[in-house]
Amino acid sequence: MNHLYDVKAPAKINIFLHVIGRRLDGYHMLQTVFRLIDLHDNLSFNLRNDGTISFEMTSNNIPNEYNLVIKAAKLLKMHVKSNKGAHIFLEKNIPIGGGLGGGSSNAASTLIALNKLWSAGLNRQELMKLASCLGADVPFFIFGDNAFASGIGNILHRIDLPLKYYLIMQPGISINTKDIFSDSILKRDTRRVTMCQFMDSPSYLFGKNDLEDVVFVRYPDICNTVVFFKQHGFAFKMSGSGSCFFIEYDNISQSILALNKIGNIINKVCGSFRPAKFFFTGSYVGLDEHPLKYWVTK
């Protein structure tokens, strides 16, 4: 029997992100549309019969106390009272602190893969409930589909999105989500919208990201870079709490042409202003569903 699983943990973007209030317990009330994209981290899981959970990764090793992969594995092991273990290898491609949900996606793929590897037998709702202990975005990656989300991001409704391609700009900055949400200048009173309103409007043009203003004040270089590209016809939108920004295109040819145009613009820049340190890794297609959706029973 093969006890080695190789799985993908896809990134997400927030087509819009509205902060509509704050609960007494400090959690923020949100509305957003989560879209999966084909930028992904890779994880492999090898069964260990000694009950030990071991971990390694290609680079940027994360301390165990902050490592959501290890936290997810230990949480599932404790929940199902398994005497099995696993060796987990993580190859990072999604930028850390980029607002693309890399850590949350890794945690979700870990829960899904180990649930199967250990024959734990938890269904989707049980895994999502467990995932909520790890972070507000983690249940979405177990949900299996693109979603219109409300509450604290935990109330999810499946949504059909058209085929689109996304050019991702990744400034060389890692942003702490808690710092952005706790900032005193964050407005928390955006008017509620409905899923029908979103579906009646071109997705990329709908709404805004309420966290952008906070990031622009805290990180002037990011603000200057986004303004610079807007002046040249590229209206980037921020995903999550940053630092990554994206533009949506109808097909891959448009996105590649845009990437080439951006390269030419940067090469022609003169004077004192230069865009902040950033990089583009290419164009990513929006996914219809999570690659591990059918690893979980309803």
Give the model confidence (pLDDT) of 1-36 as tens digits.
Answer: 456 899 999 999 999 999 999 999 888 999 999 999
Q: Is the pLDDT of residue 243 over 90?
A: yes
Average pLDDT over residues 76-84: 97
* Active-site annotation holder among 41, 137, 145, 210: 137
Task: Give the residue-averaged pLDDT of 273-284.
Answer: 72
Mean pLDDT, all residues of the chain: 93
Q: Give the active site residue among 12, 92, 164, 237.
A: 12
More confident residue, 237 or 62: 237
Residue 266 binned pLDDT confidence (cut-offs 50, 70, 90): confident
pLDDT of residue 85: 97
* Reported confidence tier of residue 132, pLDDT bands at 50, 70, 90: very high
Q: What is the pLDDT of residue 65?
A: 73
Annotation says 6 is catalytic: no
For residue 37, pLDDT beyond 60: yes
| pTM (predicted TM-score) | 0.94
Per-residue HEC secondary structure of 118-170 comes to CCCCCCHHHHHHHHCCCCCCHHHHHHCECEEEECCCCEEEECCCCCCEEEEEE
Q: Is 137 a catalytic site residue? A: yes
Q: Please report which residue ranges of the chain form alpha helices under DSSP H.
A: 68-80, 102-117, 124-131, 138-143, 177-182, 195-199, 212-218, 220-231, 252-268
